[in-house]
Amino acid sequence: MKNFAKKTSSNTDLKQALERIRDLEAEIQTMLMAMKEKIQQMELLTQVSSILNSSLDPEDVREKTLEVTCELLKCETASLLLVDSEKAELYWDTALGETGKALKKNLRLPINDRSIAGSVAMSGESLLINDVEKDPRHFKKATEKSSFQVKSMLCVPLRNKGKVVGVLQALNKLHKISSASKFSEGFQQEDLQLLETLSHPVSIAVENSKLYTSLKRGFYDTVEALAESIEKKDHYTGGHTKRVVHFSLCVAKYMDLTPEEFEQVKLGALLHDVGKIGVDDKILKKQAPLDPEEWKVMRKHPELGFDIMKRVESLKGVMGGMRFHHERWDGKGYPLGLKGEEIPLIARIIAVADAYDAMVSTRPYRKGLPAKIAYEEILKYKGIQFDPHVVDAFIQAYQKEKMGQKQGESILSNCD
C-alpha cells in the first residue's frame, strides 16, 4: 500500500509539473506574441516618417498615413479632419475608401461639444469611445451621408505650435484573432496612446502640406500672370493659353501619365508661348497673314521662351514642352527639327492642343474652322505632324470632353 501511495503521489506531482510547464509555455507564447506586436507597432511608427517624406503630394501622404493608422491600431478605417478657423468648423480632409468620398462632400462639423470630433477640437483632449451610438455627441449625419456605422472610436487632436489644427480618428476596432472582420470589445487605453504618438508627425505633415500647397498656388499664380501678360499684347489671341492648357489636359487625361507628368503638361502648356514676349508687337499684332521674313521672327519664340525660363530650376521638367511644341513627328518642325520620340512627350501633347485651338480660333484675317473640320485635320496628320498615340488620346478627349465643339461654348470641363 505504501508503494502504491508513493506511486500515486508521484504521478500527481508529475501531472502538476506538466501542467505548470504547459502554463509557462502558454505565458511565454503570449509574451512573445505581445513582443512581436510591439515590434510591428514600432516598425509601423517608423514607417510613418518614411511616408511623410516619400511624396510632395499632400493627399497621397495623408491617405498612406491613414492606411498605416488602420494597420497599427487594427481598425476598420480612419479619417483626418482639419480646422477651418474662419468658420470655426472641421471638414473631412482625408478618409479612406468610398466612405471617405461621401464624407468629403460638403459635410462639416461645428467646433463645439455637439459632436465627438468637434468636442476634441474644442477641448484639445483625446477621447476613447467604445459605444459611439449611445454617446450623445454621435454625429448621425455622417452615418446618413456615408451609410457607415461607427461602433467604436479613438479621436485625438492634432496640434501645431500649441494650437489645434485638426483631429485624427480611428474607427471600429477589429477582432485580433478571427480572420473575419468581426468587431472586438473595442479600443484599449494602449491604442489611444499609440494614436496620440502618431498624431505628432501627422500634425507636422499637415502643416508642411499647407505650406507646400500655398507655395505651389503662388507659383502657379505667377506663371499664369506671366502667360496672361503675353496675351494682353495681342487682343485677338486672348484666351489662347487657357484653351491650350485645357485641351492639353483633356488629351493627357486619356494617356498613361503619372501625376507629376500631368502637372508638367499643365505648366508646359501655360508657358508654351512665353517667348512671344520677345517678338516685336508689329509682328505679334499684325492683322493679316505674316510674310516669310515675319514668320522667321515668329518662329524664334520657342527658343526665346527657353532662354527666358531656363534659369528657373523648378521648371526644368517642363522646358521641353515649351521649347519643342512646334516640332513635328516627321522631323519637319522647328526649332531643332526633332523627329518622333526625340520630341518630349509634353511637347507632343501641347502640339496637338495648340494646333487644334489655332484652327478653331478666329483671327482678324480669317474665321475659325468648325470643330469637326479641325478634328478631321488633326486625324489627317496623324503620324505625319502629330504623334499617333497622342492623336488617339485626342480622339477620346474630343468624343468625351468639351472641346469647344459648339459655337460660343465654354471650353472648360473637368479635365484638370
Q: What is the pLDDT of residues 3-59, one digit of tens each?
A: 545 555 666 666 776 777 776 666 666 665 655 555 555 555 566 666 566 665 667
- Contact between residue 103 and residue 79 where contact means Cβ atoms under 8 Å apart: yes
CATH topology of domain 29-207: Beta-Lactamase (3.30.450)
| Digit-coded pLDDT (tens) for 266-301 | 999 999 988 888 888 888 878 788 888 888 988 899
Cell of 166: 485638426
Cα(151)–Cα(184) distance, rounded to whole angstroms? 10
From residue 307, alpha-carbon distances to 245, 271, 274 in Å are 21, 12, 10
pLDDT over threshold 90, residue 228: no
Tell me whether strands 163-173 and 127-129 are parallel, antiparallel or unpaired: unpaired
Report the pLDDT value the prediction gives residue 347, as an integer from 0 to 100.
96
pLDDT band at 180 (very low <50, low <70, confident <90, very high): very low
Q: Out of 23-37, 95-109, 166-180, 235-249, pick the least confident.
A: 23-37
- Mean pLDDT score of the chain, rounded to an integer? 81
Cα(285)–Cα(282) distance, rounded to whole angstroms? 6
| Digit-coded pLDDT (tens) for 317-338 | 889 998 999 999 999 999 999 9
Count the neighbouring beta carbons within 10 Å of the beta carbon of residue 312.
13
| Digit-coded pLDDT (tens) for 337-370 | 999 999 999 999 999 999 999 999 877 767 888 9
pLDDT over threshold 50, residue 259: yes
From residue 151, alpha-carbon distances to 63, 67, 228 in Å are 22, 19, 53
From residue 411, alpha-carbon distances to 72, 245, 362 in Å are 47, 10, 15
Mean pLDDT, residues 130-143 taken together: 82
Report the pLDDT value the prediction gives residue 137, as an integer from 0 to 100.
87
CATH topology of domain 218-400: Hypothetical protein af1432 (1.10.3210)
In sequence order, the 6+-apart residues with CB closer than 8 A to the CB of 177 are: none
Mapping DSSP to helix (H, G, I), strand (E, B) and coil, where does residue 224 land?
Answer: helix
What pTM value is reported for the model? 0.63
Residue with cell 505565458: 27
pLDDT band at 405 (very low <50, low <70, confident <90, very high): low
Report the pLDDT value the prediction gives residue 52, as an integer from 0 to 100.
62
Cell of 292: 516669310
Helices marked H in 171-300: 189-231, 240-252, 259-271, 281-284, 292-298
* Helices and strands per DSSP (H, E), number in the chain: 15, 6
| Digit-coded pLDDT (tens) for 193-210 | 888 988 888 888 778 777
Report the pLDDT value the prediction gives residue 327, as an integer from 0 to 100.
96
Q: What is the CA radius of gyration of the chain?
A: 31
Cα(339)–Cα(322) distance, rounded to whole angstroms? 16
Report the pLDDT value the prediction gives residue 197, as an integer from 0 to 100.
85
Report the pLDDT value the prediction gives residue 168, as an integer from 0 to 100.
93
pLDDT band at 378 (very low <50, low <70, confident <90, very high): very high
Please give the residue that has the higher pLDDT: either 256 or 21. 256
Domain chopping of the chain, boundaries: 29-207, 218-400
Please give the residue that has the higher pLDDT: either 362 or 117. 117
* 127, β-bridge pairs: 155
